Amino acid sequence: MSRLLQLLCVSTVNTRILGGSSVATAGIWPWMASLQKNGNHMCGGTLVSWVLSAAHCFQSIGTSGLVVSLGRQSQEGLNPNAVSRTVAQIINHPNYNPSTFDNDISLLRLSSTVEFNNFIRTTGSDLISETLFCVSTVPLPSPQNLMEVEVPVVGNRQCNCDYGVGRITDNMICAGLREGGRDSCQGDSGGPMVSKQNSRWIQSGVVSFGRGCALPNFPGVYARVSRYQTWINSQISTNQPGFLTFRSTGTDGDLSVTCAGLPAPPTTIAPTTTGQTTTTTAPTTTTTTAPKTTTIAPTTTAKRECL
């Protein structure tokens, strides 16, 4: 598979995005969701008709007291554009592995529909070989405003060498600077990682886990959304997200990566399969990427998992 260097973003109403900047304008990431348990932010999510998030956020949590807040610019003060919905159903991927975080993806069905506006819209997702990601979040302890950061995609061969061969599966995608310094972190789980294709933002990943936060040679790891087209559309019966095919161009430097125990790369590379996009009008101004949300009072269930 060839590679294209392009912009990806991760956004979240989180406490811990590292190396990023505050999002000054409301509505920049209109699909960003803050998942709150009993009034405290616990994880991020993406509005894609239902809400797409990480399975590890909901291992021991039911729908009672769980609220999805959309259109938030901050975790404190007034949020005049915010709309909240309770959660009617949580569906974790049936093959989610809490030990390895493989298939770390979840869908939340809202109690009622949400009216779209300039501050609340859906996004989609796509599979990309190598890009720059933008991550946004709300940092702690202050300010509590939405933030974002750009990070480059790291190929799966390199990421396997970083974490230990076999640790990174085809269901995962990695992103981060080799020197560290930029990353999502605890509390950002479930948030979106997005990239811009032409004038459209598409989602590539869901914040999952990492070794610490923003450490050199340990990029953040995300669930690769494009692997879940069949499962997502099997759960959402109406207003299904759409999926599109994307093939990057250029030379794939990850194919030359080698380390002890890493199998040789395949001699032929299959074309990139489909990635998810929403059937509803997607915002053209911004997009989110695996956001890491933050909570005013962080909880143990609301963090990106660390190894």
95 touches 166 (CB < 8 A): no
Per DSSP, the three-state class of 89 is: strand
Place of tokens 């509505």: 27
Instruction: State the catalytic residue, choosing from 11, 34, 49, 56.
Output: 56
Determine the Cα–Cα distance for residues 156 and 158; give it in Å rounded to an integer. Answer: 5
41 is catalytic: no
Give the Cα separation of 166 and 160 in Å (integer). 6
* Alpha-carbon separation of residue 98 from 111, 219, 241 (angstroms): 27, 20, 26
User: Catalytic residue among 102, 104, 126, 188, which?
Assistant: 104
The verdict on whether 104 is a catalytic residue reads: yes
Q: Which long-range contacts does 114-118 make (Cβ < 8 Å, 24+ apart)? A: 114/47, 114/70, 114/83, 114/85, 115/83, 116/280, 116/281, 117/71, 117/81, 118/27, 118/30
Q: How far apart are CA 262 and CA 30, in angstroms?
A: 40
Residue 183 catalytic?
A: no
At position 72, the amino acid (one-letter code) is: R
Q: How is 163-218 classified by DSSP, letter by letter?
A: H-TTSS-TTEEEE--TT---B--TT-TT-EEEEEETTEEEEEEEEEEESSSS-TT-
CA separation for the pair 270, 258 (Å, rounded): 20
Phi, psi of 124 (to 5 degrees): -130, -170
125 Cβ neighbours under 8 A, 6+ residues apart: 48, 52, 192, 194, 202, 203, 204, 205, 225, 226, 241, 275, 276, 277
Marked catalytic residue, from 11, 49, 189, 226: 189
List residues with catalytic annotation. Answer: 56, 104, 189
